[in-house]
A and B are shown apart, each in its own frame.
Chain A
Amino acid sequence: MSTAIPVRTVCPYCAVGCHLDLLVENGRVKGLEYAVDSPVNAGRLCAKGHAALEILYHPDRLQHPIQRSPSGWKPVSWDHALETAAEKIRNIVTAYGPNALAFLSTAKGTNEENYLVQKLARVVGTHNVDHCARLCHASTLTGLGPMLGLGAATNPLSDLSQSHCLFFVGSNPAENHPVAFRWVQEAKDRGARILVADPRRTPTAWIADLHLPLRPGTDLALLAAMLHVIFQERLQDDAFIARRTRGVEALRASVKHTDPTWAARLTGVPARDIVRAARMYATAPRASLIYCMGVTQHVVGTETVRACADLALVTGHVGSLGSGLFPVRGQDNVQGACDMGALSGLLPGYRPVTDREARAFFESAWGLPPGALGAAPGLTVTEMEQAAGRTVRGLIAIGENPVVTSPESRKTRESLQRLDFLVVVDLFMTETAELAHLVLPAAAWAEKSGSRTNTDRRVQWSPKAVDPPGEARPDWKIVIDLAHRLGLGQFFPYGSPEDVLEEIRRIVPAYGGISAGRLSQAAEGIAWPCPDETHPGTPVLYENHFATEDGLARLYPIEFREPPEMPDADFPYCLTTGRVSLHYNSGAMTRRSPSLFSRSPHLFVEIHPDDAAREGLRHRDRVRLITRRGSIEAQAHVTGSVCPGVLFAPFHFPQTNAITQNMLDPSAKIPEFKTAACRLEKMEGKGP
């Protein structure tokens, strides 16, 4: 024990960015110790953070590159693997052009790795690079970007404790960001009012002063009605609106008829509760609005995000201590991956590919010939999968598992099978890797250095603690090696993540002052924008002006649309999906952690007791869930925490997304994960 050296790393799971100290002895992690002196989490960790070590030395970890052969998987050398990959990529580019290639980057990688992946894609000549932000917070980028200037959280999470009113819309931090929930509890202890709008009575709603159990997909109606009440009762902050925003008249006109009675009919929330919620939020001296996937994963995701921002802006709850807008991210580095431009339509630093000046800047910065970067945005995650086997012939997927995470995943599986070449870089043999032609073993978080940006824009450095198992390599090295084999070595002259960060600092102004040396000294990281070495970082955005051209925020009018698939006679229930505290996204990591899996081993579906009685179901019965896209089996959990008519299933299991809808938000291209008309059938026996 005494000889073990603690190495402070950043937890690989959610976007809170907790610190945990790994005890390293003789090149092996012996255990973990709590980072009690960390300002981020003060030593606290959630269940997943504790189980992180189980991933590090998991027997299923991939240790060697493997290639598909007629006789099954066969281990190959790195030389062979990279040469094969390079050759296939060259062939595809020669035969079909660079746009027949697609790259899936990863929010679980570091900023440097995401930067490299998107640079490789763009140097090869395609904008077909995207990552899983498309499936979670793409609507935040398209929604908040034009309104406030940046699609990111405005305040640090610790500011939640300073708020007088916390309004959670489609967000459940108690389960998904347990360590951040301590700030919510702290606020509650100080007397803050907690409002939760969620179809389920989640653990977050347990402490709520007012729970608004709305029907899935009707968040926009609720927010519109709240705005109506605020304008009606003149609770808006007129001074703030006049000084800092534009477009209030259009917004006021658009919510003229969205009164609480109308919203009550649509949402199922009593009108008086909507009025109370609007009053509580608007009259609090400092209020925070926290939203997550319940808002974004809809075909009206962008509009709903804008309604959230409208609500915060007209009440003046943006840009000061304890007043902010929090799109809470799911993965440890979604924010960073977006910042690094691993998105089909955006170059690093959120410069649109359609902007001629931005393209010229990157062409010269990267040493590409003028005109090398295309002007049209590339394919998004869902579009890549639809085009796979047709216009897209080769896919390089790094740390992504689309077979589990994409909507209507059976179709995804079929289309991935049609690809000429699929490379998967991952820790485990995921459901997607099983379809690949070549699988490369990656290094886990503690086996590589790099910076990661958590949900409140804080960039933190996570150092390498131990060597990867077997021949596994960090993603950044794999990408650089692949680039060299493709003959693009001149564009990738890096020897370490630090070198990459240096280039990022030159290219992305917000990261200008964030050097590796500075990061390793900063206890809780540095919040971007941080333009130069002397800048302390910007924890609170928009204190004096917004990041738009004229410094004023834009208010957008609200137009309500119903969810595309409403329950009807054939499919009487509305299926919504979400997370549980013991699992994480596609479950590739958590379903392999014994301590987590043993506590939550089945796919279950929550059903209201009234509905269960009608269907003749009892707790733990086996049920079949049927939507227009297919059917899955699950265990019924009869609970009063869901509304009647609503079913809830976690999406960590490969089955769930087989039946979700593949309808896209037109601007953000985010799929409608949260609603699906559904029917139940009782099956024989208990289980699964």
Chain B
Amino acid sequence: MSGFLHVDFRRCTACFACETACRTAHGGGLRIQLAFVDGLPVPLMCRHCEQSPCAAVCPEHALVWDQDHGVTLLADRCTRCGLCAVACPFGVLFVDPFAQPSVIKCDLCRARRAEGKRPACVLTCPTEAITEEPHHSLRRRRLTTPVFPIAGKPPRPFQGGASRASRKRNDMV
């Protein structure tokens, strides 16, 4: 667990599994949301910034960052002033005065992780667009970039000598 969730939004197919999974895990409140631009989806959730603007502006120091849990809310300190929502550059945190705790944001499924389970959205994403392991995801992205054909060296992802077409032609001769 790296303390934040990595999203490879190019793999997202807008199936809404993460949103419903999040709601199932936390009850109400949108902690992850698909935002659409020109019909293309981007899953957005708290980025768990290490120098988080939300924590920086919080007058009561109710939001703190740590390596394992990301930006965490200390609910008993929170006065529901809403400044954190103003500060967040991504718009993925909001204050619901009627909820308890009142700051609605991704907590990396702290309760699930305490039981040894993975965050709900990570577990459920069918295309592995959301992962908790950025290095694995980055490696996969490097391996699937179109660099190979551009460099004049065609990708040969599958083993085996001559292509099927040439084999077939030889068969016919």
Chain A residues packing against B (C-beta within 8 Å): 1, 31-34, 36, 43-47, 49-51, 53, 164, 174-175, 178-182, 185, 188-192, 203-204, 206, 234-239, 279, 282-285, 581-582, 595-596, 599, 639-641
Interface centre among B11, B21, B40, B168 (most CB of A within 10 A): B168
- On whether the beta carbons of A45 and B127 are closer than 8 Å, the reply is no
Query: Is B20 a contact of A178 with CB atoms below 8 Å?
Result: no
The distance in angstroms between the C-alpha atoms of A181 and B23, with both chains bound, is 22
Complex interface bits, B29-48 against A, C-beta within 8 A gives 1, otherwise 0? 00000000011100000000
21 A-B pairs, CB-CB below 8 angstroms? A1-B115, A32-B24, A34-B117, A43-B124, A44-B124, A46-B126, A47-B17, A50-B23, A51-B20, A164-B158, A178-B15, A182-B126, A192-B157, A203-B15, A234-B172, A238-B171, A285-B160, A581-B15, A596-B16, A599-B16, A641-B39
Answer yes or no: B64 CB below 8 A from chain A CBs.
no
Task: Kindly provide the distance from the CB of A4 to the nearest chain B CB, expressed in whole angstroms.
Answer: 12
Cβ of B103 within 8 Å of any chain A Cβ, yes or no, is no
A189 CB contact (under 8 Å) in B23, B115, B140: B140
Distance of A199 from chain B, by nearest CB (Å): 15
Q: Contact mask B128-143 → A, CB, 8 Å, 1/0?
A: 1000000000001001
* B165 interfacial contact with A, CB 8 Å: yes
Q: List, in ascending order, chain B residues with CB within 8 A of A279's CB.
A: 165
Interface residues of B (CB under 8 A from A): 11, 13-17, 19-21, 23-24, 38-40, 115, 117, 120, 123-128, 140, 143-144, 155, 157-158, 160, 163-165, 168-169, 171-172
Q: Report the Cα distance A235→B172, complex, angstroms.
A: 10
| A179 close to B24 (CB less than 8 A) | no
Beta-carbon nearest neighbor of A45 in chain B: B124
Whether the pair A283, B20 counts as a contact (CB closer than 8 A) is no
B13 touches A181 (CB 8 A): yes
Give CA–CA (A191, B126) in the complex, Å: 19
Please indicate the chain B residues that have their CB under 8 angstroms from the CB of A180 in the complex. Answer: 126
Beyond A43-B123, A206-B13, A595-B20, 16 additional contacts (C-beta under 8 Å) are: A34-B117, A34-B120, A43-B124, A189-B144, A190-B157, A190-B158, A191-B158, A203-B13, A237-B168, A283-B163, A581-B15, A595-B19, A595-B23, A596-B16, A640-B39, A641-B39
Contact for A47 among B19, B127, B164, CB less than 8 A = B19
Of all A-B residue pairs in the complex, the 5 with the closest CB atoms, nearest first, are A191-B157, A178-B15, A50-B20, A174-B13, A47-B16
Flag if B164 contacts A283 (CB, 8 Å).
Answer: yes
User: Looking across the interface, which residue of chain B has its beta carbon closest to that of A286?
Assistant: B158
Instruction: Find A185's partner among B11, B24, B169 (CB 8 Å cutoff).
Output: B11
Q: How far is the CA of A182 from the CA of B17 in the complex (A)?
A: 13
Number of residue pairs spanning A and B whose beta carbons lie under 8 angstroms apart: 115
Nearest Cβ distance between residue A45 and chain B, in whole angstroms? 5
Residue of B with least CB distance to A201: B39
B-side contacts of A46, CB under 8 Å: 15-17, 124, 126
Could you say which residues of chain A place their CB within 8 Å of the CB of B15? Answer: 46-47, 174-175, 178, 181, 203, 581
Question: How far is B167's CA from A237's CA once the two chains are assembled, in angstroms?
Answer: 10
Smallest Cβ distance from A186 to chain B, in angstroms?
Answer: 9
Chain B residues, CB < 8 A from A179: 126
Residues of chain B within 8 A of A188, CB atoms compared = 144
Q: How far is the CA of A151 from the CA of B153 in the complex (A)?
A: 42
- CB of A31 within 8 A of CB of B39, answer no
Instruction: Give chain B residues whose Cβ lies under 8 Å from the Cβ of A582.
Output: 16
Q: CA–CA, A43 to B117, complex, Å?
A: 11
Q: Identify the closest chain B residue to A32 (Cβ).
A: B24
Does A181 contact B17, Cβ atoms closer than 8 Å?
no
Complex Cα distance, B165 from A31, in Å, reads: 53
In angstroms, Cα B19 to Cα A639, docked, is: 23
Residue of A nearest to B22 (CB): A50
Once the chains bind, are A47 and B20 in contact (CB under 8 Å)? yes
Instruction: Report the Cα distance A45→B39, complex, angstroms.
Output: 23
Q: Would you call B171 and A189 a contact (CB within 8 A)? A: no
Establish whether residues B123 and A34, one from each chain, have CB atoms under 8 Å apart when the complex forms.
yes
Contact A45 B168 (CB under 8 A): no
**A282 CA / B168 CA spacing, docked (Å):** 11
Residue in B closest to A202 when the chains form the complex, CB atoms:
B13
Q: Known contacts A47-B16, A641-B39: does B143 contact A238 (CB below 8 Å)?
A: no
* Interface contact A185-B128, CB-CB below 8 Å: yes
Among B20, B39, B40, B171, find the residue whose CB has the most chain A CB atoms closer than 10 A.
B20
Most buried by A among B14, B127, B160: B127
Chain A residues in 8 Å Cβ range of B158: 164, 190-191, 285
Give CA–CA (A3, B38) in the complex, Å. 47
State which of B20, B23, B125 has its C-beta within 8 Å of the C-beta of A44: B125
Chain B residues, Cβ within 8 Å of A599:
16, 19
CA distance A163 to B165 in the complex (A): 16
CB pair B24 A50 closer than 8 Å: yes
Residues from chain A with Cβ under 8 Å of B157 in the complex: 190-192
Question: A283 with B19: in contact, given A43-B123, A189-B140, A189-B143 (CB under 8 Å)?
Answer: no
Complex CA distance for A410 and B123, rounded to whole angstroms: 43
Closest to A315 in B: B164
A45:B16 contact, CB within 8 angstroms: no
Query: In whole angstroms, how far apart are the Cα atoms of A174 and B117 in the complex?
Result: 26
Cβ–Cβ < 8 Å partners of B155 in chain A? 191
> Cβ of A204: which chain B residues have Cβ within 8 Å of it?
13
For residue B23, give the distance in angstroms from its CB to the closest CB of chain A. 5
**A234 and B39 in contact (CB under 8 A), knowing A45-B21, A283-B163?**
no
How many whole Å from A14's CB to the nearest CB in chain B? 11
Closest to A593 in B: B20
Nearest B residue to A164 via CB reads B158
CB distance from B52 to the nearest CB of A (A): 28
Chain B residues positioned under 8 Å from A181 (CB to CB): 13, 15, 126-127
Choice from A31, A50, A239 contacting B171 with Cβ under 8 Å: A239
Whole-angstrom CA separation of A234 from B173 in the bound complex: 11
